[in-house]
Amino acid sequence: MISTFNIEKLNKLLKDFYTLSHIRITVFDENFKELTSYPSEIAPICQIIRLDKCAREECHKCDVEACRKANGRKTPYIYQCHAGLTEAIAPLYFGNIVIGYLLFGHIISYESVEEAWKEIYGHCKRYDIDKDKLYQCCLEQKTIEEDYIDSSASILQAVASYLCLERMVILKRKGLAVQVDEYISRHYLEDLDVETLCQHFNIGKTTLYKLAKENYGIGITDHIRNLKIEKAKKLLSEDSEMRVSEISIKCGFSDYNYFITLFKKKVGMPPQKYRLIHLDNNIGKNNE
């Protein structure tokens, strides 16, 4: 799938993000290729680390692996890179398909400079780099608190949503993956399975499994189940009158006991408890 970005508008948005957060942000396409960033230069500490060939390769591998782990998430993925720095990724979606990633990083987030140096040196001592310069960068780079990172990650997610809503990210061609995703989005509450999809699109199971793995990070059946559970969660939290058995049927589950078992497995609690918690929360918000 080929994505195209309005780079001019995108760069302005990245600049605005940096002005507010002082955190560098980068855009990758769906193939993990870097498209643009602001500022264009990476942080001094990363410049030193990437002077080593092995470190450069690890940086790339780390970015790709993080993008893959972020695939399928609806909230930012915050993690520590191979060098001990904190980064965050928010996927860009077209429907339920990831077509790119926003990443911010190169952040030192430790309680003290001493702890930061200990951790970063431990991660980077195997690289052939100037450790004195690396230490000086640790001293000069500002330490950022976790709350600030969490808030910045939330803004990152909002930026990702804005990009898609404003169609600054569009698809050049409507491929099979998008057609399958749109069909699932329309019919997932019905008796939809792998065989039905294969027959409708005249493709084999192997092709469908590959599309699901690449675009959702999970099997096609699990993806459909997840969509049904998300619909059930929405109904449970918004409708206090509808019985759980009715919600089960409305979400495409013919077997009530299976619905209860699956919901508890996916959500961590039975539907009745989920409803009580979220109805109480909604009432509290309405009374504020």
What is the pLDDT, as a whole number, of residue 263? 96
User: Residue 174's pLDDT is what?
Assistant: 61
Residue 227, pLDDT above cutoff 50 = yes
Residue 2 — pLDDT band, cuts 50, 70, 90?
very low
Band of the pLDDT at 1, cuts 50, 70, 90? Answer: very low
Considering the domain architecture, whether residues 121 and 203 belong to the same structural domain is answered as no
Q: Which pLDDT value is given to residue 137?
A: 92
Rounded to an integer, the average pLDDT of 12-32 is 91
Residues 151 and 48 in one domain: yes
Out of 112, 147, 171, pick the residue that ends a domain. 171
**% of the chain beyond a pLDDT of 90:** 66
Average pLDDT, the chain: 89
| Residue 252 placed within a domain | yes
pLDDT, tens digit, 9 for 90 and up, residues 45-91:
999 999 999 999 999 999 999 998 998 788 899 999 999 999 999 99
If asked whether residues 98 and 236 sit together in one domain, one would say: no
pLDDT tens per residue across span 138-177: 999 888 999 999 999 999 999 988 887 776 666 555 678 8
- pLDDT, position 4: 65
Residue 150 covered by a domain: yes
Q: What dihedral angle (degrees, nearest 10) is formed by the CA atoms of 103, 106, 111, 112?
A: -170
- Percentage of residues in the chain having pLDDT higher than 70: 92
CATH number for position 66? 3.30.450.240
Residue 74 inside a domain? The answer is yes
The pLDDT, as a whole number, for residue 6 is 75
Contacts of 44 (CB under 8 A, 6+ apart): 137, 140, 141
- Same-domain check for residues 132 and 255: no
Domain span holding position 53: 3-171
Pair (17, 136) in one structural domain: yes
Helix (H) or strand (E) holding 29, with range, is strand 25-29
Q: What is the mean pLDDT of residues 185-209?
A: 92
**How many whole angstroms separate alpha carbon 169 and alpha carbon 92?**
8
Q: Are residues 130 and 145 in the same domain?
A: yes
* 288 is a domain residue: no
Domains: count for the chain: 2
Q: Which of 119, 147, 171 is the last residue of a domain?
A: 171
Residues 86 and 136 in one domain: yes
* Structure confidence at residue 228 (pLDDT): 96
> Based on the domain organization, do 111 and 151 belong to the same domain?
yes
The answer to whether residue 192 is domain-embedded is yes
- Kindly provide the residue ranges of all beta strands, DSSP E only, lying in 30-128, ordered along the sequence: 34-38, 77-80, 86-94, 97-107
Whether residues 20 and 49 share a domain: the answer is: yes
Task: Determine, yes or no, domain membership for 143.
Answer: yes
**Together in a domain, 136 and 83:** yes
- Residues near 220 by Cβ (< 8 Å), separated by ≥ 6? 194, 197, 208, 209, 211, 212
Do residues 212 and 245 both lie within one domain? yes
- Domain end (from 108, 136, 171): 171
Question: Are 164 and 102 contained in the same domain?
Answer: yes
